Structure 1
Amino acid sequence: MQVAFLGGASGIGASCLAIEVGSQWIVIDAGVRIGGTSDPLPDLAFLRDKSVAAIYITHAHADHIGALPLLHASFPATPIYATRATCLLMEVMLADALTIMARRAVEELEVPLYTPTQVSATLAALRPMPVGTSFAVAGIPDLQITATLAGHIAGAVCLSLAAPDGRLVVSGDISLTPQRTVPGASIPPLAHPDLLILESTYGRSTLHANRPAEELRLAERVAAVIAGGGPCLIPAFALGRAQEIILILLAMQGAKQIPRFPLYTDGLVRRVTAAYTQIPEVLNPRLANALRRGRHPFAASNLEPVRDLAHREAILRGPPACIIASSGMLTGGPSAWFAARLVSNPKAAILITGYQDEEAPGRRLLALADAPGGTLQLGDQSLPVACHIERYSLSAHADAAELAGFAAALKPAAIALVHGDPDARAALATQLGHTTVHLPTEGDVLVVQAARHARPPPPARARHTGMSVVLPSGIGNGEPLLVSDLDLLATTVRAATASPLSLTVRELAQVWYPTPTEADEAALLDLLAAASPSFAPVPDLPGVYAIGSDDAAPSSPNDQLRGQILLVRLGPTNLQPALCRDLRPSGLAILTAKGERGRIRILPADVLEIIGTYPGADLADGTAIMTTLKDLDHHAVAWRKRHPRATLLPLLNHEHTVGLAEVLQRLECMPEDLVARLAVAHMLNDTPEIIRSAAAWEWGGPARYSLHPDAQPLPAAVAPVPTAANTAWLSTCIDDILGNAAGLYRRGFDPATGAITLYFHFPTRAADAYADQITALAARAGVSVTLAPHPHQGALIAAASACLPDGARLHQTPSLLFDQQVVKATISGPFSPATQETADATFFAQTGWHLRLALNGGPPSPAVRVAPSPAPAPAAVLTRPLPAVAPRPTATDPLALSRKVIPDALGVVRRYLHPGGHVVVVAEFPDAARQHWAARLEQFRAISGMAIEVGGTTNQLHLTQAARLAAPLTIRLAKSMSLYREERRVHVRYEGAASAEAWADAGARFAEQTGWQLTYEALPTAPVAAPTEGTFDYGRAMAYVRAAIDPAAGLVKVSGDPTTRTLTLRFAFPDRLSPALQAQLADLAATTGWEIGVHPQTSLPALEAAARALFPADTSAVVMKFSADAALRLVTLTYRGYVDEAFITQAAQRFLRQTGWHIVLVPQ
């Protein structure tokens, strides 16, 4: 690997690096020198006759992009990569460069460096570069590049290069200190590079001044000058520094630290600031959040852009004001115009805030700060200096200590110092320890010696703090773009970005046309100028249009994330599930699987994917959260082990982006399956061939994924590969082939092999009836399929009862003799040998078992000689042998039999053999268990011949928790409850209001669960007097609204904002509010004088309670798991037991009418 320093090595300006990897070259930056030098360009002649595979831009300052049109003209087929933010800023900066060169051509007869045509061609070659994700270079497959945010200005990045012949980090311009506009730089993920190319702008500055103190000092000085009757000029770089100063002064005025005074911006500042509002993905999180919520941090009533020359003159004649103008070095532009008119004014001040080149007028002005009476040469004028001159350290470059720390974190084998004057580089070299330091000059070529042990590492994963957009191309199939096609164009862009976005006309043309021409772009611009509702022109940015979201009112980020399980990045390779507890200005408060030790705060950009709603009710219960996250992660890891990453690649392509839900659908996984969501999200964010084009939270929508441009797409499979974990696919196969097979009540999947076990009511008969379908299922699914050998005991008893002679009935629960395949029943009523034979024949035809009847108090019927029925033939069912099945429990294994008859899921705490020779099953609520399990206990006695009893004492904590869950949602229980064990009664006290019917339902649910009685008592409350209409204070308004609304409406919570006199009412099911209630809310708003709104989110506790209430007390089914998907408005309820299809249909319809949500009942 070779590195050629073509510019910007021994000074600042004309930055340009050429790097040879293999037989190909890449170029990083191509800038110009600022300040009117006679040789402004880097040594581009070095690249003559070389093969340049790609060009990369670190940021959009002129000293890094000013010569790019000339470089592109020499290599017109070479793509240019930059962040989306840099691409947009380059549009502004290069357009301004053309304007300046055109003016100089007239005023100074200076030959322009390049033409407008060359600039247009350069911008057309731009490609968005992903940030935080490694990617390959076209034509150099062994080279991996990772871009990480550099903190210098919006969109600035460091670049890490890894190849077999060397590893290299190019810092670009970096700032480790967070600014008001952008966060500080991230450390690149490529540790121990062979060479670090490090900027050294402030290599002599050991430590920058304290930034907050400098900001306050600047603001106070501006205020003092204006208070003294003089104007204040702040020359500032239009890109980066000007935006910082605007925010500093507006913030100080907003905090009343300085008085309000007129502020003006002039020059390129206006357009660059407008561009900043369109790239929130790379800005400081607080600033980005404000922009996304519709606020404009760069706007204020006292801030105004300068319109023209007459306006400038009027500003100087008007009241004292502060003027922020470009250029920052006074080399030209409005700042030089204002400086020429203020420098001799003793009441005026010129405040310098940025780097000044040796030959810049700004540097000469600073030299006069301590030497009054001097003169300043501005253009052809020599002006006496009488104004106040001061310098402030607001640098966007790292100081020497920060640069040394940056290098120490990377531990490079060697360092090359660039982008600094000789003194700065020499001073910094002394602080870099024992590392080999190179001080290259322009034209030097440095050979990178790769360490012997170094191999190209797996593609590094840096913290994803930017956004890369992968837009489709050529969707118009070569047809001209018409007005009627604009909606399709907007819809396509929205689908690809999953967020509101602003794009240039050039980018939009590339979406419609495969290779757009200038005529195509001009025609599109005419269509957009005719006013399309889907596209809005961005003020101050000609040719840039905002494509808004379809959503009229996007929900608050707090509503989106609080209570959600997220996939977050805590390190370059550390991806973990976490629960979002809260969202604060400083970041997201999350809890990881480490429990309370994992209580940390992260930036929104670290959220990779939203997995789903936390199934628990208490976000403060760290232990429960830890357990849930650990279990979820454990199962997701097992899922990933059985699914290679390559499984995802056929599901994605280069042209279109997809979301997690679409990938799950293509894998035929259930969208609400948290395990599958977490596993697939982890793979999508940890597969080098896949790139993300949107952040999960920052853009208000799901992340989007596509294949990296250099990844080779794989052919799509005919069907997903069936694996042990792909239960959704296996279930689909069962549904397609067996459909609603009679008696199929459960399906099981072996977690290790994926083998299917089908549970039929009567497996002997099912093996005959569905032999062909079962064989077809095994062939299609690619796994073994077998039938559970034992019939469903409840179905057997029901069938036996149906086969009894007319007028006969069961005297007691029949006995099931599994070894003989016989049901033995004692009956009352008519009985004869003929009826015995008829009943047995009917029963055998239906079940494959025999029925033996005995008359209560009489002799048993003659024994039926039973030949053992053959088990289903394995050859007709299985595609491969199954593991040995554990033997059926017998009387010698009473505990195992008890587990089969009374599963743990019914609320069993433990079970044991009593010394007296019987089984004891300890229940969570023994009083209720004795009632609910009566039939099961009798069944156990009949099968085993042993006694069994329910043991245990009701736990006080369990009772109080059950009471809180059963209580109506419209009330709040007092902390203490009274327990009366002799009466088996819990007495609660409450605040709020609930109807008698609601309390009756609560008592029934509580008794059903616990076997105890629930009584209640309302706490005394002071009566709420209705004040005069429209004069309610905050407390009275809330109390009045609570008391006025019928408890049956499901009011859960009332919250308010006294500053805006707004009350927000949260109902259990806001989509089901009646027109009468909506009219009542309007009346309450008029009465109280408060604005009343309804929170749109459904209450999850109420949703779960409604779902569980679908199963009546007399059903044998037990609810196992509840989950809800807010995006799909879908509840999934997993249950164990038997319910018929009619019940499922009626329950789903009833649930939809009550809640507005759909429900799926899934048997376990």
Structure 2
Amino acid sequence: MAKYSLSAHADGGELASYAAHLKPRRVALVHGDDEARRALQTLLEQTDVLLPRNGETLDLSVRQKKQRVESLPAAETVVVPESLPYGIGDDVIFNASHLEQLWKALEHVPSYQVVTVRDLVNVWYGERAIPEHAMWLSDVMEEEQPYDEPYFTPAGEISEAYYVRRTQEDAEEDRLRKLVGRIILLRTNPAAAKPVFCRAIDARETLRVLFPRGESYDRTRFPLRALLEVVGPLPYEEGLSEKETLTSCVRNGRRIRRGLSAYALAQNCQEGESYTLTQLCELAGVSQHKVEERLAVAKLVQQHPRLFEQYDDLVEGQGPVHYGLASTWREALNEPEQRERPDQNWILTTIERYIGTPPELIRRSVDGESGDVTLTFIYPEGAWERYHEQLEAAAEETGVNIIISPHTPLGEMSSFAQKQLPPGLTVQGNPSIFVEQRLIRFNCSGEASEEEIQAAQQRVQEETGWTLAIASNAGVSQPAQPARQASSPVAATPISAGSVVQEQQAISTARGLMSGLAGFLKVGMEKANYVLRVRFEFPEVAQQRYGTIFQQIEESTGWHVQLYPLTPSQEALATMAHSMLPDGLEVIGRPSIYWDRNTVGMLCKGSTEVEAVYEAQRQFTAETAWTLELQGMTLQAAPATRDGRRLEPEITANEQDGDQRTAVAVEQTATKQMLVEADPQDRVSQVQAMAKASELLSDAEDLYQIGVDAKRGCLWLHFYFPKGARVKYAQRFQEIKAQTGWDVELHERVHLKALTNTARRLIPIEAKIIGKPNIDHGRQRITFTGIGAMSAQAKEEAQRTFEAATGWQLELRLGTSES
């Protein structure tokens, strides 16, 4: 059932609370008997209360402080306030592109300073309104309005009510009122800016705030001048208190901030230009509508005063705060960027909340730089089957990669297997472990029945996925091995004793075989798991080139070879890129590393032959498995010299008389294609490019954000469903490129809210969906679970429609009905 607030009238206390929040100068009580009106009058404070009689009109002109009531003849008609428009949407589903149209229909209706969601639904849909319209309209109001100048501002504690933006500047009182219910950035001391929740504005312009969990302050009231930035409204999360919701937002913002680069943001800004927080979010490539992402950018800017400065004051100014590059930004970029380290305790606590503390979990490792987590289980395959869905959800919440180590911890596995041996057996020496065959063999003395040995083998197989073998000594039964172990494990490895070699021998063997390999750095070990951890400058290339050598090391030592880390270092990529740079080009600034697409970008000046660039890119890919991208360059179709001027063939008199060889050589040189610096005049300004993209995509209702990468001269387009948009608007993207000179790229991440809502519209109420959907980004699949049922035909139709609209798969885990 949709929430329409139609169940009953508000009582006196609710009406008084409503009026107190609006803070009107006067309130006229025009409905109810005299006794009821007088009772309500006593509840209304700090306002003039008017009690007009039937047939009377109120003159409220010229900001009167006192009521002025004039009696009218009984026959005269009472003035009725102007009514709201009705059904202006022409049967079109309301979305963000209709906000301005809806606002213009209301801005000149002074009787309605505040409107409810029900009012807005009626204005747009009229008699065609259905319950779902209120939910969809609320989503647009909450998540897709312009942050800096929203058309409709939430009315704080009044549920489903909004202030209508007026054409004139808001009064100071109205601007302060809008702070209540929002997350703000507060200067708590000269060196700290903290995100807090604004609960109220007390007398003398004092902010009463709530801190997130973990922040301990003696005071909860701060002067208005301590306000730095308004981030956005506190999201509503069912079952959570304001403090819990604020804490969640702050933690998510911290996680997002770790993935942002203040240096990259500064490089995307133009010197002398000013930007609002919303515009900085676009430049940083994050959503301007998600409060956690806005908070991440706001904190990032505050933490780097040498890069950014605040141009105006939120309290004294008439609009949003503006930021720009600080005078020291160039010097700051020459220093190494210090990234915030991840909150390891919070990450591990979040994982524990999803999977608990299973006894088979042996180790939890967190990368101090990236926050990525590796979980080590005795039986990795079994752990993946049991926990992969929970871990995917935890990874989504924490924003880090959570992987289950594919390698069995051999020390713990050996201890576990030994404990499963029948009590009549005594182990002689250390066990033999065959990693490739996933087999562990014990030499034992003593007696045990065949049934006891089979039971032990079954327990080991179920808990670890390994095969337990027991050497045949006197009185010990040796059961038949499984079919996959038909060949002798000892014969499969050249190790004489059938066991792994000692640590120093393993290290020495590995170094001897790898020391001369290109890009080799060092070899370490993980003793508990019998793993040699090998470091190369470019691991992917090493895996391709030296796979046979790694196999030889494993066969010679019994230790497993693991490349770590799996990604090259930033320094190695930058050094290799510089070494591959063709003659004639000079790098401007530091190379940019695009981890999401394995690309190194270098902003260059100068000129060089295209063939030289192609050769440099080919060699770079061969050596690193990454792509080299030269930015700020353009192809010169006309003949040119290195300084960009046209090169005309020079033909001497002798050549004219018959010797044409020199002329031909000059002509061939003149027609070579060159890569030269892009002329800034060939590319329109950033603002013009964004405006042109908005114009050419004005009917693209699935476009919700346009970002900019000024350094690369690229517009980032954020679509609800990028996979379909790439095909649908391919021609438009080419037109944007042709008319602006800016490249166009699509943000690959699907809009989760739109994805979920699209699916819910296709699932009938009878399906009785429970809980949140499971979203699998890797497989591009969303899964809903319900306790109801759908017919097989309805399921197939919903899945087909969903995939056509989004490019994703829809999985429905619910019953199948007959019809």
Under a length normalisation based on structure 2, what TM-score does the superposition of the two structures give?
0.24
Under a length normalisation based on structure 1, what TM-score does the superposition of the two structures give?
0.18
Where relative contact order (Cα < 8 A, 6+ residues apart) is larger, the structure is: 1
In our comparison, the structure showing a higher alpha carbon Rg is 1
